[in-house]
Amino acid sequence: MESEKEKMGTGRLYDANYDTELIAERQACKELCYTLNHLPPSQIAEREAIIRRLFCKTKERFLLEQPFYCDYGFYTAGHPLDVEQRNRGLEYARPIRVGNNVWIGAQVCVLPGVTIGDNTVIGAGSVINRDIPANVIAAGNPCRVIREITEEDKTKYLL
């Protein structure tokens, strides 16, 4: 019987929620991410070593010319439009709410006060400056709904 990790490696659907091997690997990755995120930028060799451990098995499969970051930004603070208020260092804060089962692509910027609904997919590079409803695919700058997620999407990637 094929493991969930083997299914994952071939691009097919797999269950990562209850597979002990994948859970253990994810926990190890979380520990590495924590370490990476707390290293000073000047520790280039150490950062590269962790990135290689996170993203590749061999050096041949990964060329690191520049540091690799997903660089998500969740910004709950904003600044007034009035120059005098800004110059005084004033800002405001609005909570960000992200629903269950949301997928957020790399380099997404989420601005203050935004709510992202359940089961939504946000495309890489999006700037989210308004609420995004549940069960949609949204992307862009500014982020906009592209379409609803449909029943057909459940079988799109099955082989």
Q: Taking Cα atoms as reference points, which of 81, 86, 117 lies closest to residue 99?
A: 117
Mark which of 61, 81, 99 sits at the end of a domain.
Answer: 61
- 40 versus 65: which is more confidently predicted? 40
Given 79, 94, 97, 144, the catalytic residue: 79
* pLDDT on residue 60: 37
- 134 versus 74: which is more confidently predicted? 134
DSSP secondary structure string, 67-134? Answer: ------EE--EE--SSHHHHHTT--EE---EE-TT-EE-TT-EE-TT-EE-TT-EE-TT-EE-S-B-S
pTM of the complete model? 0.59
Residue 88 and residue 55 in one domain: no
Contact status, residue 65 vs residue 72, Cβ threshold 8 Å: no
Query: CB under 8 Å to 91, separation ≥6 — which residues?
Result: 77, 78, 79, 80
The amino acid at 97: R
* pLDDT on residue 96: 83
Percent of the chain with pLDDT over 90: 29
pLDDT in tens, 104-134: 888 899 998 899 999 999 999 999 999 999 9
Residue 144 and residue 79 in one domain: yes
The domain spanning residue 141 has which CATH number? 2.160.10.10
- 33 versus 126: which is more confidently predicted? 126
- Is 38 labeled as catalytic in the residue annotation? no
Domain carrying residue 87: 73-148
Residue 48 and residue 88 in one domain: no
